[in-house]
A and B are shown apart, each in its own frame.
Chain A
Amino acid sequence: MNLDRILRYSQLYNLVVRRKEPEAGTVYLSQRRVYILPSRQGLTFSLSLLVMLIGSINYNLSLGYLLTFLLAGVGIVSILHTFRNLAYLYISPGRAEPVFAGGEAHFQLHIENRGNNERFAIAFEREGVITRCDVPARDTVSVTIDVPATRRGLLALGRVTLDTRYPLGLLRAWSYVTPDLACLVYPRPDSSRLPPPQPQADSGDTIALGTGTDDFFGLRPYQASDSPRHIAWKASMREGPLLTKQFSGRAAAQMWFDWKSLPSGMEIEARLSRLARWVLLANSRGIAFGLRLPGLEMPMGLGDAHCLACLRELALFKTPGDAAPHADPGKSRP
């Protein structure tokens, strides 16, 4: 066995050469992946024990020795308990529903405990945000890690630190997991109105939309039976719970949203925000629309699937000069 293989097997190797690449599928927290060190409280505890020991020696307190050694034993034993509170868990990626930039991405992880011991106070930390859970024996629980989605695109969950101090808080066991989980972040829609309809040469009928927006008469809470088409995305984002738009009638229409039709001085992100807004508005009103981006065209279509596909293209848009191909988010969404 050469040195390299020994190194790879050692915990130190894992600690120093931290895994950055996402790990596909279920991650098993084997013994080698779990690190353990005394917490600050643990160090204070050892110091107290030292003082107790010196006191016992000085005063010839046999029971003082016993108490000190009992507590020392508890400290040593709790290493094993803290360790096994974290080790041998199975972490698998769950879902991460697309969100709009400026919102919060919710990454779901499933933690499976196949053993007979309940696990307590497992903390999931990602960039300072901590989520805690208990995992009962022979059970799976899901935790949701909330990550602010600041920029459109594909937001990877990245490395998550699992840590626990159970049972006594004297030790901290931790492990790093990088689940293969990413969240699609749509551009944040701006607050513009739909552009005036432009007669299209290739569309047979020309419909004046005029004041067609009056058909919309209000919002009500989303119900399971509602078509997602009528979800008021923007209002929902502002208010929290999903809201459904109600219409008194519907005007049929067709529109093309073209990158090039936007003012030439507009920034890329601003353009994407505008287009996203239009896509949402058009979809909510049942207007058929197509989307033209540099190097890409989404044909005229109608319905939620079409809307989501367009949003997705907007989220992942790269200017043609930007050569780097984006990862296919569909892969990470089982």
Chain B
Amino acid sequence: MSAPPAVELRFSNLAWLLAGLALAAAPHTARLPAWITTIALVTLGWRAYIAWKRSALPRKWLLLVFMLTCVLGIYISFNTIFGRDAGVSMLIVLLGLKLMEMKSYRDVYVVMFLAYFIALTNFFYSQSIPTASLMMLTVLMITASLVSFQAPARRHLDNLKTGGMLLAQAAPLMLLLFFLFPRVQGPLWGLPQDAYSGISGLSDSMTPGNISQLSLSDAVAFRAKFDGAMPPRRQLYWRGPVFWNYDGRTWRPGDMRLRGGTYKFEGFGQPYDYSVTLEPHNRNWLFALELAATIPPRARVTADYQLLSLPPVQSRIRYEMRSYPDFKAVEADGNEDLTAALALPKGLNPRTLQLGQRWAAEARSQGNPTEVIVNRGLDLFRNGGFQYTLEPPLLTSSDTVDEFIFNSKLGFCEHFSGAFAILMRSAGVPARIVTGYQGGDVNPIDEQLIVRQSDAHAWTEIWMDGSGWRRVDPTAVVVPVRVESGMAQAVPAGQPLPFMARTDRLWLLQIRYNIEAMAHKWNIWVLGYNPERQREMLSFIGMDAASWQALAMALFWGVGGVVAVLALWLLRRMRLEDPVQRHWQRFCAKLERAGLPRAPSEGPLDFASRAAAHFPQHAALVGGIGALYIDLRYGVPADRTATQRLGRLVRQFKL
């Protein structure tokens, strides 16, 4: 095997490579410590300078010291050298150092492959369409650089074209492999701690008054698509974590979620069928409209009607659901449920306790005491001067509920639902907190209901003897518009709002809806393409329960077919290259069949005159063909009509 070409690290070639590298690493700058970015910029600039000035590369020992310093720095920054962020930092530092000692052909390839890797690592953080487009551009530039190192003298625009052509021809293969390559559900091994840092407007505890600002994130929590009509907005309660235990400040789930649930309720009326596409949030929660009548695969339901996925939701998943908005959760699993739903932290919130006990005493004589108590509670919130705000004051005393009900009276759903539940428990009515999302907005482009993190909500459920758990949303009483038309109407003017909740910039909203509809398609077909979807798609094209062997065969033939078509297209044009030559060869073949082969060294002029002498009856035609061929082949560049004339003459020539 001959040696690869000596690499010529000319500035013009290197500049494109460095630009490609910079592009690959660019999105990381926002996520990694500033010093990593600085090192990346310094090494890139330094290498470009070295190529420009044709000066010597730094010494090996210097680089080694530099490398060790960087590893130490990464360890200090991240407390580890493994994991996602530390790993990406290591890769970038490594690439920078490799650049500083890049002088051979092999080094160039190591750098290129590292660059492809770094392009891949961007997908750990974002798999959106813009990221994909940026990385596509990066891959194009790096591929064009590879070409430029093979053909250093070419203009870089040509190399870009070649790179683009290669990528374009690889696209069908990519799609085939993407859809048919047997998918395995990851992870194959343990993931670093920081592998998923999905955001959620929800958490597994709730501390009213602790956070003074609610998440205004526009990030999509999930999308839902209804098969038929959509329920009215006030029924869009998406159930999430349920909290039972209150320690005076914080609501926690309690042990209910641990117990396997028997799911007992009666649904009335028309159920709604819909599918939910849930964004990964690294928790087990699945969201469904109250109250879910089906359980998605690989999920279970708790006794408090929570849907929990068995593995944490680490990738976007899609599940089909059916829910009954009118329901009667008839039966609790036993008395201990109600005990837990009545527990109060000892000695806290004395005024609330007093108020509750007074209501209980007054209601005892009436027909339906629970109903009366609940209504008095709602009346208090409705008429007690409470105000909805996204920026409530911090509650600082130990009796936070007292402080909220009797003093500040400013808050959002967490405050209202928490205070209401405590008030009910004080009055002897079992109550619990349900968190989740409320509402959502319909994207008019694809009619998907989009539920955002800013739609996170908390409400209360109270136990009524005879009719079971019933939803009571005190926030809806304070500000009915929060539930009827969303947060934008609920928040007093002048307070910050999530972007999507604004209604004053409709054209922006329109663009945003379009982008989100596209993003949804992208999510479903590209990002959400997992083993399940692969099975669905395969059974759609008639490959039910395809084994991996069958997939491998399909892939083999698919890839083979694409390559064969490409080969036919690429190589056919090569062989049918020069029509002038083709005509001449047909002419020679005719003469050979007639017993007059052309000698290998015989020029066209000699051969034509020999043939003319041999077949005097065709002398004029043979002479014409010979002269025309010589003219076309060695004279002026062949034009189409002359070439066609040669073809015609050759066809006329018959022996």
Residues of A within 8 A of B119 (CB): 67
- Pairwise interchain contact B573-A115, C-beta atoms closer than 8 A: yes
Q: Tell yes or no: B515 within 8 A of A by CB.
A: no
Q: Provide the B192-217 mask, 1 if CB < 8 A to any CB of A, else 0.
A: 00010000000000000000000000
Residues of A within 8 A of B577 (CB): 88, 114-116
A42 to B, closest residue via Cβ:
B109
B2 to A, closest residue via Cβ:
A125
B154 to A, closest residue via Cβ:
A120
The number of chain B residues touching the other chain, given as a range, is 35 or more
Q: Tell yes or no: B177 within 8 A of A by CB.
A: yes
Question: Which of B172, B188, B573, B577 has the largest number of chain A CB atoms within 10 A?
Answer: B577
Q: Tell yes or no: A158 within 8 A of B by CB.
A: no
Q: Tell yes or no: B553 within 8 A of A by CB.
A: no
Which residues, 261 to 316 on A, are CB-close (under 8 Å) to B? none
Q: Tell yes or no: A324 within 8 A of B by CB.
A: no
Stretch at the interface among A1-9, A54-62, A141-149, A218-226: A54-62
Q: Tell yes or no: B557 within 8 A of A by CB.
A: no
Residues of A within 8 A of B57 (CB): none
Q: Tell yes or no: A76 within 8 A of B by CB.
A: yes
Which residues, 90 to 118 on A, are CB-close (under 8 Å) to B? 114-117
Q: Tell yes or no: B620 within 8 A of A by CB.
A: no
Binding site for B on A (CB under 8 A): 24-26, 31, 39-41, 44-45, 48, 51-52, 54-74, 76-81, 83-84, 87-88, 114-117, 120-121, 123, 125, 130, 132, 134, 138, 161, 163, 165-169, 172, 174, 334
Q: Tell yes or no: B527 within 8 A of A by CB.
A: yes
A88 to B189, CA, bound (A): 50
- Pairwise interchain contact A60-B170, C-beta atoms closer than 8 A: no
- Which one of B2, B113, B559 contacts A45 once the chains associate, using CB atoms below 8 Å? B113
- Pairwise interchain contact A114-B151, C-beta atoms closer than 8 A: no
- Which one of A62, A114, A169 contacts B109 once the chains associate, using CB atoms below 8 Å? A169
A84 to B566, CA, bound (A): 12
Total A-B Cβ pairs within 8 A: 189
- Which one of B123, B177, B530 contacts A63 once the chains associate, using CB atoms below 8 Å? B123
- Which one of B1, B135, B146, B191 contacts A168 once the chains associate, using CB atoms below 8 Å? B146
- Pairwise interchain contact A60-B150, C-beta atoms closer than 8 A: no
- Pairwise interchain contact A73-B171, C-beta atoms closer than 8 A: yes
What are 24 residue pairs bridging A and B, where the CB atoms are less than 8 Å apart in the complex? A24-B601, A31-B571, A39-B4, A41-B4, A41-B105, A44-B110, A57-B186, A58-B186, A58-B191, A60-B314, A63-B127, A63-B132, A64-B123, A65-B177, A66-B132, A66-B526, A67-B123, A69-B173, A71-B116, A76-B173, A88-B575, A132-B5, A167-B147, A169-B109
Q: Given A163-B2, A168-B150, is A61 in contact with B127 using a C-beta cutoff of 8 Å? A: yes
Q: Given A39-B4, A60-B315, A62-B526, is A116 in contact with B139 using a C-beta cutoff of 8 Å? A: no
- Which one of B147, B189, B571, B581 contacts A84 once the chains associate, using CB atoms below 8 Å? B571
- Pairwise interchain contact A169-B571, C-beta atoms closer than 8 A: no
Residues of A within 8 A of B601 (CB): 24-25, 334
- Which one of A59, A66, A115, A165 contacts B574 once the chains associate, using CB atoms below 8 Å? A115
- Closest CB in chain A relative to B530 CB, distance in Å: 7
A123 to B5, CA, bound (A): 8
Stretch at the interface among B161-169, B237-245, B388-396: B161-169
Known: A73-B172, A115-B578, A174-B2. 14 other contacts (CB 8 A): A24-B600, A58-B188, A58-B189, A61-B123, A63-B127, A69-B178, A73-B169, A76-B173, A76-B563, A79-B563, A88-B577, A115-B574, A120-B151, A163-B2
Which residues, 525 to 564 on B, are CB-close (under 8 Å) to A? 526-530, 559, 563
Binding site for A on B (CB under 8 A): 1-5, 105-106, 109-110, 113, 116-117, 119-120, 123-124, 127, 131-132, 135, 139, 143, 146-147, 149-151, 153-154, 162-163, 166-167, 169-174, 177-178, 181, 184-189, 191, 195, 314-315, 526-530, 559, 563, 566-567, 570-571, 573-575, 577-578, 581, 600-601
A78 to B132, CA, bound (A): 23
Q: Given A60-B314, A168-B166, is A55 in contact with B147 using a C-beta cutoff of 8 Å? A: no
B530 to A, closest residue via Cβ:
A60
- Pairwise interchain contact B120-A61, C-beta atoms closer than 8 A: yes
A68 to B, closest residue via Cβ:
B120
- Pairwise interchain contact B4-A81, C-beta atoms closer than 8 A: no
- Pairwise interchain contact B127-A77, C-beta atoms closer than 8 A: no
Residues of A within 8 A of B150 (CB): 120-121, 165-169
